[in-house]
Chains A and B, each alone.
Chain A
Amino acid sequence: MSALFQINDLAVSFPGRDQTVYAVNGLSLAVETGEWLGVVGESGSGKSVSLLASLQLLSATSRIDRGQVWFDGRDLLRLKRRPLREILGRKIGVIFQNLANGLDPSMRVGVQVMEPMLAHAICTKPEARRRALDLLTELGLSDPERQFERYPFELSGGMRQRAMMAVALAAEPALLIADEPTTALDTTVQLQVLSVLQEACRRRQMTVIMVTHDLGVATNVCDRVVVMYGGQVMENAEIDTFIQASVHPYTQGLKGSMIPLNGTHAPIQAIEGSADIFHQVPRGCPFVARCPVAFERCHTERPRLVSLADGHEAACHRVEEATAHVG
């Protein structure tokens, strides 16, 4: 296995005064060098929480119950603050969904793009300035010299998101983790931002993990998709398999919930209910309450992630039984 970044059996919970929320319940996933991996699921599926937890970026109200996160031969969850800092921003770049969280409102944009290069002693200050300007130009900020001197609030949403990407890419990290990088943007701007992000990452041969709830975005930019529910992997497939031959009832439900844009008015086959919040670690399949094909076993026994074909896995008792009969 040549996984660049690998999460093993991660469990994360949020202990509360009355009850605990179990957000991630034994998640395992890996991304290969050079791959663009999409992590999809509804809100509450644990997709953002698990990736933030894997970088020790969650708040103190969370608790990592078990698991390892392997990167560069080390378990990131066991690292102390200083060695972790040498990796974050340097070898792993992060882009957040929330425009407000990613940039410091009190610092000029250019200084923020220079910061990772200076903090990690990659180059001199004049060199960092030159590289920052190049990066802003590459990411499509019009009039980069002027944007360089501005504060984040003076930029439009699309420009701010590009600036945040510049900060994430400044130290030329090997891995980029992008959490809903274009969700808050207008659709015409989303297309531009995705396009420059894709170009920039390709040019650097970067590995990317992109969290998104948008199947249109995932299927148009990713090589592989991991579908999450209840803090576990439901299905893991190469993009063509995901599009043409996905098997998990949750994946099917997500696809069926998409509103078609063809002027027809066929009923939408939406999944019933909304994403569950777990106050106990789910005993069986986390999706059981909403699954149209659930049976007894799904309530009592957690489905294993079973390999169906090369690079295609699903965690579903129905699927497992169907393939067992065939085999």
Chain B
Amino acid sequence: MSDNALLAIDQVTKTFPWGKHRIEAVRRVSLSIGTAETLGLVGESGSGKSTLGRLAIGLLAPDRGTVTVSGVNLGAVAPRTLRTMRQTLQIVFQDPGAALNARVSVAANILEPLVVHNIGTRDERLRRVGRLLERVGLTTAHGPAMPDELSGGQLQRVMIARALALGPKLLVCDEILSALDLSVQAQVLSLLDDLRTTEDLAYLFISHNLSAVAYLSDRIGVMYLGELVEWAPTAALVAAPKHPYTQALFQSILEVPVSKAARKSLTGIPGEVPSAIDRPSGCAFHTRCPLAMDICRQEAPPWLTVGDQHQAACHALAAVEEG
């Protein structure tokens, strides 16, 4: 992990109360994001990726481990400093309809963070809102509109404009494509791609959609039941996923075949993601893994380096390596 990382998450665990017990939503996760870098997090429901996104920008505090932004530990700063730091850390959620204030105009929604952080004069703020609207592919004409007059894709653009208002360094995108149609997903993805270069933005791009994650990200982390199981540069992961779970994720993507005859069979791994309340022992994936051995039920798997900046946590891979 480099010292000049924009974001460094080190051995972070987050638990939530569940009756008399606590469940681990995120478990001993470490990762880092450099300036203007895009890290993708992919995983199914219950993988802890959204919790990790909230931990990354200080919306949640970890039980153990540290979250460091530009060298500053978010858990050790005064609330006032944290508030200032939050200007550089923004998040966009899946459902823009729920995240925007439906009673005020689009422009007022985008203006709000500028008012809260007391930035600029009234005129300066209004000019900035106009620029932001154009920046995300809308026009100043959309400013006076009420949120319910816009389509889902346009609302997601408004959310992005609002997140950009304070000039963040890191934007967490939590399943922001999920509610959108195919054509609109592609439009928003292209917008994020543009903004990365023009705004010097780093992204933590969280999605269950492996294709979207692979399209946008420089590096990808794969999560399963609160843990990272593999991380790699995108090209390496797409070319040769190593962890059996990552392989299963790739296999489960149905792409358009070249012909009816060339369809692949609809076979994948069995079962569903277990509940974090009843976390399997050893490697959490062993209940569904085609390669599971005795040791997988007993011991947590070691991290192995399987390529350049490419690591996976798996006993079966370790066994192969030892020959």
Given the contacts A257-B185, A268-B189, A187 and B210 also touching, CB distance less than 8 Å: yes
- Which residue of A198, A253, A261, A274 is within 8 Å of B153 (Cβ)? A274
Q: How far is the CA of A267 from the CA of B270 in the complex (A)?
A: 35
Determine how close the nearest CB of chain B comes to the CB of A267; give it in whole angstroms: 7
Cβ contacts under 8 Å, A213 to chain B:
181-182
A260 at interface, CB cutoff 8 A: yes
Q: How far is the CA of A257 from the CA of B215 in the complex (A)?
A: 13
Q: How far is the CA of A221 from the CA of B255 in the complex (A)?
A: 12
- Which residue of A186, A259, A261, A275 is within 8 Å of B272 (Cβ)? A186
A193 nearest in chain B by CB position? B266
Cβ contacts under 8 Å, A240 to chain B:
259-260
- 1/0 per residue A206-239: CB within 8 Å of B? 0000000111110111010000000000000001
Q: How far is the CA of A219 from the CA of B258 in the complex (A)?
A: 10
Determine how close the nearest CB of chain A comes to the CB of B226; give it in whole angstroms: 15
Cβ contacts under 8 Å, A119 to chain B:
none
Cβ contacts under 8 Å, A259 to chain B:
185-186, 189, 209, 211-212, 215
Given the contacts A261-B238, A274-B153, A188 and B185 also touching, CB distance less than 8 Å: no
Q: How far is the CA of A263 from the CA of B228 in the complex (A)?
A: 21
A192 at interface, CB cutoff 8 A: yes
Q: How far is the CA of A255 from the CA of B258 in the complex (A)?
A: 13
Determine how close the nearest CB of chain A comes to the CB of B159; give it in whole angstroms: 15
Cβ contacts under 8 Å, A257 to chain B:
182-183, 185-186
Cβ contacts under 8 Å, A191 to chain B:
251-252, 254, 266-268
Q: How far is the CA of A272 from the CA of B211 in the complex (A)?
A: 20
Determine how close the nearest CB of chain B comes to the CB of A76; give it in whole angstroms: 29
Given the contacts A186-B272, A187-B253, A267 and B266 also touching, CB distance less than 8 Å: no
Cβ contacts under 8 Å, B186 to chain A:
256-259, 268-270
Q: Are B257 and A274 in touch, CB under 8 angstroms?
A: no
Q: Are A220 and B182 in touch, CB under 8 angstroms?
A: no
Cβ contacts under 8 Å, A216 to chain B:
253-256
Q: Are A268 and B256 in touch, CB under 8 angstroms?
A: no
A156 nearest in chain B by CB position? B272
Q: How far is the CA of A321 from the CA of B42 in the complex (A)?
A: 46
B280 at interface, CB cutoff 8 A: no
Chain B, interface size category, equals: 35 or more
Give the A-B contact count at a CB cut-off of 8 A. Answer: 135
Q: Are B269 and A188 in touch, CB under 8 angstroms?
A: yes
B4 at interface, CB cutoff 8 A: no
Q: How far is the CA of A243 from the CA of B263 in the complex (A)?
A: 12
Q: Are A244 and B181 in touch, CB under 8 angstroms?
A: no
Number of interface residues of A (CB under 8 A): 50
A158 nearest in chain B by CB position? B272
B234 nearest in chain A by CB position? A263
A266 nearest in chain B by CB position? B215
A79 at interface, CB cutoff 8 A: no
A186 nearest in chain B by CB position? B44
Q: Are B263 and A220 in touch, CB under 8 angstroms?
A: yes
Q: Are B182 and A194 in touch, CB under 8 angstroms?
A: no
Q: Are B268 and A192 in touch, CB under 8 angstroms?
A: yes
Q: Identify the B interface with A (CB < 8 A).
A: 44-45, 151-154, 181-187, 189-190, 208-212, 214-215, 234-235, 238-239, 248-260, 263-264, 266-270, 272-273, 288
**Can you pick out 27 interface pairs between chain A and chain B where the beta carbons lie within 8 Å of each other?**
A42-B183, A159-B272, A186-B44, A188-B252, A188-B268, A188-B288, A191-B252, A191-B267, A192-B270, A195-B267, A213-B181, A214-B254, A215-B256, A216-B256, A220-B254, A220-B266, A240-B259, A243-B256, A243-B257, A256-B186, A259-B189, A259-B215, A260-B215, A263-B238, A265-B215, A268-B190, A271-B183
